[in-house]
Amino acid sequence: AVTGQVALDQHVRELTVRDGDGVTFQCSMSGGSMSSYYMFWYRQGPRGTLDWVYKEGDAYGEGFKDRFKGSLDSSQNRFTL
């Protein structure tokens, strides 16, 4: 086993939903503490481009604040969108 290695696990990597349906994405960290890092959510478009959605501390990318809600629970090492 590798020790001292930080790993992120995004529990659901991809979803297709109908307009208006709610969905939750979660990310957890092992081997480290999220409180030691800046945590971001990005959306990857069909051509591979990345759009910044959310940064911990209630900061949102342009056009995302009205439709998305992000949160960080550093005591549980859980980052949610």
Residue 1 lies in a domain: no
The pLDDT of residue 1 is 53
Contacts of 21 (CB under 8 A, 6+ apart): none
Domain, as residue range, for 28: 7-80
The pLDDT of residue 3 is 62
The pLDDT of residue 46 is 86
- Positions of the chain with pLDDT under 70: 1-3
Domain count, the chain: 1
Q: Give the span between the Cα atoms of 39 and 79, in whole angstroms.
A: 8
Residue 75 lies in a domain: yes
The pLDDT of residue 71 is 97
Is the entire prediction scored with pTM above 0.85? Answer: no
Q: What is the CATH number of the domain that holds 14?
A: 2.60.40.10
Residue 2 lies in a domain: no
Q: Give the span between the Cα atoms of 48 and 24, in whole angstroms.
A: 21
